[in-house]
Amino acid sequence: MKGTGTVKRRRLGTYMVAPVGLGAMRLTGPNVFGPPGDRAAAIALLRAAVDSGVDHIDTAQYYGPNIVNDLICEALHPYPPELVLVSKVGARRDSRGGILVADDPAQLRQGIEDNLRTLQVDQLAVVNLRRMRDDGPDAFFDDQLAAMISARDDGLIAAVGLSNVTLPHVLHALRFTELACVQNAFHLANRRSRSVLDECTRRNIAFVPFAPLGSGRAGAAAVLSTPEVVGIATRMRCTPAEVALAWALTFPNVLLIPGTSSMRHLRENLAASAVQLDAEALRQLARMGDASPV
């Protein structure tokens, strides 16, 4: 499998990582809930990713729940020194797969400690505060930030990240702490976080789009099956996923974490960092953005 060893690394806080990493959420059962159908295959995929140069894996204790971190640990512990594991706190799953908020300061701290225990590390490179609420930066957000900052000051995490946040959240948080990354939904058919991305670019903060391929079947239809993307892929002799990922990588501070449970897709996604979209493709994709909500 082609590795990412020769590609130019990008900044993630104080770390430098390959532009294409791995989102581990897909190493679960149907509807990203429960254990994967083939545990050995999930472990093999994690090992193949790292063997191919992936040095940035995105996870959460609530993936599974309590499954993906165990897989990562079983597959990769003791971790190669260059591997940057990023997790997130703020949510939990119930026994039927419902996604619940778990974001008060004590729950955030507990969430970080749970990640440390299951991944068997003393410190995580970055943990994202995953916002589950629609409210703006308020006193509760300040309390959440304080919990994340104390976890960093206590050495449990090396850096703080934010996820699912607005530009006001980012600007507010930066008054109190540096941010290693911001992780928001962003792809060809959803550019609503463009102002957050631009602010991160200006400040040299990594922007990590979750769902870079549109996330699952419906999103894939909105991204990978569009005439523009399919047409460019055909003309440039690459795949629609490579087009979508190569487009995201045109933003200099973007780090990708496409989610996959498939070895073939993993290879394809890693190959995207070598795809150079031509001017015509970039024009077409920019026009496609005019039609997407901002």
User: How many angstroms separate the CA atoms of 157 and 148, rounded?
Assistant: 8
Which of these is catalytic: 15, 62, 63, 79?
Answer: 63
The answer to whether the CB of 232 falls within 8 A of the CB of 275 is no
Residue 159's alpha-carbon distances to 124, 162, 198, 211, 220, in angstroms, are 8, 10, 21, 23, 32
Residue 26 interacts with ligand NAP (CB under 6 A)? yes
Residue 88 interacts with ligand NAP (CB under 6 A)? yes
Residue 25 interacts with ligand NAP (CB under 6 A)? yes
Strand partners, 181: 161, 206
The answer to whether the CB of 10 falls within 8 A of the CB of 17 is yes
Which listed range, 8-16, 24-32, 48-56, 193-201, lies at the site for ligand NAP (CB under 6 A)?
24-32
Q: Determine phi and psi for 123, rounding to 5 degrees.
A: -145, 140
Nearer to ligand NAP, 156 or 266 (CB): 266
Residue 210 interacts with ligand NAP (CB under 6 A)? yes
212 upstream amide cis, omega within 30 of 0: no
Residue 54 interacts with ligand NAP (CB under 6 A)? no
Contacts of 135 (CB under 8 A, 6+ apart): 141
78 upstream amide cis, omega within 30 of 0: yes
**Catalytic residue at 63?**
yes
Contacts of 92 (CB under 8 A, 6+ apart): 62, 65, 99, 100, 101, 102
Choosing from 69, 87, 166, 260, the residue that interacts with ligand NAP (CB under 6 A) is: 260
Nearer to ligand NAP, 190 or 284 (CB): 190
Nearer to ligand NAP, 129 or 283 (CB): 129
Q: Determine phi and psi for 207, rounding to 5 degrees.
A: -115, 120
Question: Among 27, 38, 98, which residue's Cα sits nearest to residue 63?
Answer: 27
Choosing from 259, 270, 273, 288, the residue that interacts with ligand NAP (CB under 6 A) is: 259
Residue 55 interacts with ligand NAP (CB under 6 A)? no
Q: Per-residue contact track with ligand NAP, 132 to 171, x per CB under 6 A?
A: -------------------------------xx-------
User: How many angstroms separate the CA atoms of 140 and 105, rounded?
Assistant: 9
Residue 234 interacts with ligand NAP (CB under 6 A)? no
Query: Could you tell me the smallest distance in angstroms from the CB atom of residue 249 to ligand NAP?
Result: 14
Closest CB to ligand NAP: residue number: 259
Which listed range, 11-19, 94-102, 147-155, 210-218, lies at the site for ligand NAP (CB under 6 A)?
210-218
Query: Could you tell me the smallest distance in angstroms from the CB atom of residue 215 to ligand NAP?
Result: 4
Residue 36 interacts with ligand NAP (CB under 6 A)? no
Site residues for ligand NAP per CB under 6 A: 23-26, 58, 88, 130, 163-164, 183, 210-216, 220, 224, 241, 257-262, 265, 268-269
Q: Which residues are catalytic?
A: 63
